Amino acid sequence: MTKTLEISNISKSFLSNYRRKNVLNKVSFSVNYGEIVAILGPNGCGKTTLLNIIAGILKPDDGSVIFNNEEIIHPSWQRTMIFQELNLFPWKTSLENIVFGLRAKGLPKKEAIFLAKSQLKLLGIENFSNYYPNQLSVGTKQKVAIARALALEPDILLLDEPFSSLDMQSRELFQEDLINIAKQRKQTMLIVTHSIDEALFMSDRIIILNGSPAKVNAVINLAASPNRTPRYRNTQQFSKLKNEIWEILRSKD
């Protein structure tokens, strides 16, 4: 397997109220092509900070991020991100938000519109094409943000707690939708989450981030990528893994 993303010894601290707060401490891991990796960590442990560094909108104090054999310096659509707060442009409709991404990537306008429309259809939200974000439900906004990022076909898709604002049922349905699309396209993904269930269901590998400052506490390989049908959530294998992860989280607290 070849690596697409390699993170080595990333450290990051923030200055707040004249105090230096260490958030990340020598975090290292890598992601292979086609792999879906989950980063699991409690609230406020630095998950968003880590993703921002990988996306290139934040500089680490120390360490390096190598992406496709090059040190990253700028943000790029090849490492595009679905933000925790989605960050849809409120002055653009669903369609325009997606078109913007495609044009930013460099596509001509006509092609961008065509692709954006098919992306809206893929996610079943074509009826909301001409709605502004303010007019959409949380779930639909979520889907527009996913569509905007997926449409770019990035080398790696970064997702920051993509489903955290959804209710239980919608969340599971969304997870299933996304995983199906991702598997079909062999889309490499790095998903940040604080939900063990989400990490287990979505990923091939779980990286547990914990402590203050946060570091990688454990890596769990979910050997032979599981069969992600809704039923998988109710299997013994699933609950056994869930317990194991709980044990790790408890013992490292």
Ligand X SMILES: Nc1ncnc2c1ncn2[C@@H]1O[C@H](COP(=O)(O)OP(=O)(O)OP(=O)(O)O)[C@@H](O)[C@H]1O
Q: Which of 83, 86, 90 is nearest to 54 (CA)?
A: 83
Q: Which is nearer to ligand X, 93 or 203 (CB)?
A: 203
Question: Does 140 interact with Mg ion (rule: CB under 5 A)?
Answer: no
Among 148, 171, 205, 228, binds another protein (CB under 8 A): 148
What is the C-alpha separation between 55 and 59, in angstroms, rounded?
10
Binding to another protein, residues 154-213 (CB under 8 A): none
Chain contacts with ligand X (rule: CB under 6 A): 14, 16, 23, 41, 43-49, 84, 194
Q: How many angstroms from the chain centroid is the CA of residue 91?
A: 24
Among 16, 69, 134, 234, binds another protein (CB under 8 A): 134
Q: How many residues bind another protein (CB under 8 A)?
A: 29
Binding to another protein, residues 51-110 (CB under 8 A): 55-57, 74-77, 79-81, 83, 85, 87, 89-92, 100-101, 103-106
Q: Which of 39, 52, 61 is nearest to 79 (CA)?
A: 52
CB of 45: closest distance to another protein in angstroms?
Answer: 21
Q: If you search the block for the tokens 């091939």, which residue do you land on?
A: 204
CB of 155: closest distance to Mg ion in angstroms?
Answer: 23
CB of 12: closest distance to ligand X in angstroms?
Answer: 8
CB of 115: closest distance to another protein in angstroms?
Answer: 14
| Interaction mask 67-86, Mg ion, x per CB under 5 A | -----------------x--
Name the site residues for another protein (rule: CB under 8 A).
55-57, 74-77, 79-81, 83, 85, 87, 89-92, 100-101, 103-106, 132, 134-135, 148-149, 152
Name the site residues for Mg ion (rule: CB under 5 A).
48, 84
